[in-house]
Amino acid sequence: MASFLVEGARSLSGAIRPAGNKNAALPAIAASLLGSGPTTLKNMPRILDVNTMLEILESLGAEVTWEGQNVVCIDPRSVRSGTVDESQAQRIRASLLLAGPLLARFGYVRLPPPGGDVIGRRRMDTHFLALEALGATVSLNSGFEIQCDRLRGADVFLDEPSVTATENAIMAAVLADGESWIRNAASEPHVQDLCHLLKAMGAEIEGVGTNQLRISGVKKLDGATFTIGSDHIEAGSFIGLAGVTGSEILVKDVPIKHMESTFLGFRRLGIHIEIEGSDIRVFGESKKNIMNDAFGSLPKIDDGPWPAFPADLTSIALVTATQCTGTVLVHEKMFESRMFFTDKLVAMGANIILCDPHRAVVAGPSKLRPANLESPDIRAGMALLIAALGADGVSRIQNIGQIERGYERIDERLRNLGAKIDRID
C-alpha cells in the first residue's frame, strides 16, 4: 500500500490551481448516460473516484476515451443494461448516482449498496422517496431494484436537502413525462454544475442555484461538451495549507462566488485572504488570531447545507485552528464520525477536546510533532497531510489512496510549492 513520507516545518510559496470539482465530476459522468450521443467533459480531475466511476460505465458498455490530460469523452450508446456490478459499486459512494439516469433510460436499475467514506450514517431513503414520487417502485434486499413503466412528473419534496438525492431526482425528472418540482433541493455548486450540463444536453430546468427546481420533461437529451467547475473544497484546503505552514500561497482560478462562507470561516480563524480577480492570495505567515464573537463569546465554525460553511472543509478548518491563537468550537453537524480523526492530531501535540461525535474545542497555537498516520477518509486524510507539513520532523501517512480519491496528483502539486513529500509505493 502506498504512503507519503512528509518532512514538515518548511515554508511554502508559489501558485497552485484547484482541479476540477470532484463532486461535480461524478454526477456529470452519471448524467452522460442520459445522452443520445457522446458527451465530452473538460477539466475532469484525474483522481481514483473518477477512474472508478468511469470503469463502472465501461462495464455497462459505454465507450470512454481520454482526449487529453483532463478531457474525457463518454459515448453511452452501447449501454444495454441497468444492472451495476456489485464489486465495482461497493468501491465508491457515487455509484448510487447511477440510479436516476439508468432508471430514466431503461425503466429498471439494480444496484448493490454503495461504498465510500465511513464518516457516519448516510441515508439512502431520500433517493428512494424521490424516485417513488416520480412513479418508480423500489424493492430492497441485499441491494435495491428500482423499476417503472414510465417516469412521470411530480411535486417532489425531499425530506432532507441531500446533494446526491437531489442529483438523482434531477436526472430522473429531466426525461419524465410532464412537469416536476423538486423542493428542499440541495443547491451546492456541484448540483448547479449538473443542472448546467443537463441544460446543455437539452433539459429544461429552472431555479438553478435555489432550493426549488422546476423541470419540464423532454423526450430525449443529446450529448454535449461541458467544462467542470473548479473545486471550491480544494481551494479551501489550500487556504488551510497556507495557514498551517505559515506560508504565502497564490491560489489561482478560484470559484470566488462559491466561496463566501469559506472565506468567512477561515477569516474567523485569523487567516488573511485577499481576492485578486479570480485568484486569492493567502497570507499564512501573518498573525493568526481567532476572532471571538461579540462580548468575548467563544466563536464557532459550523457546517450546514449550502451556502453554509461546507461540511467537507470542517476537517481542514479544525487542523488550521491548531495553529491559530485562541479557542474555537468546530461543530460538524452533518456526519457523526468525521471528527474521530482528531485523536491523531492530539497525538501530534494539538490541544483538542472532542466533546462528542459532532463537536471539538480547539485551543491554539500548538507545536505539532511528526507521527505515523493513516488516512481515514478523503478530507481527514488531506487534513492530516496538512498537519504533517506543519509538524517539525518527518511523518509517514499510510492509506494515501483515500487522499488520492479526491485530490489529483497532490504530492506533485505540493512539491511545486516547495513541500518535501516522497511517495513510497
Catalytic annotation, residues: 117
Angle between helices 163-173 and 99-106 (to 10 degrees): 20
The C-alpha cell at 260 is: 463566501
Q: Which grid cell is 270?
A: 485569523
**Cα Rg for the chain, rounded, in angstroms?**
22
Query: Taking every pair of C-alpha atoms in the chain, what is the biggest distance, in angstroms?
Result: 64
- What is the CB neighbour count within 10 angstroms for residue 277? 9
CB-neighbour burial class of residue 211 (10 A; exposed 0-12, middle 13-18, buried 19+): middle
How distant is the alpha carbon of residue 383 from its chain centre? 14
The angle formed by the CA atoms of residues 341, 45 and 121, to the nearest 5 degrees, is 35
| DSSP bridge pairs for 145 | 110, 139
> Distance between CA 266 and CA 274 in Å, rounded?
12
- What b/e readout covers 23-56, taking b as 16+ CB neighbours within 10 angstroms? bbbbbbbbbbbbbeebbbbebbbebbbbebbbeb
- Angle (nearest 5°) at CA 31 between 29 and 34: 130
227 contact partners, CB below 8 Å, separation of at least 6: 41, 42, 43
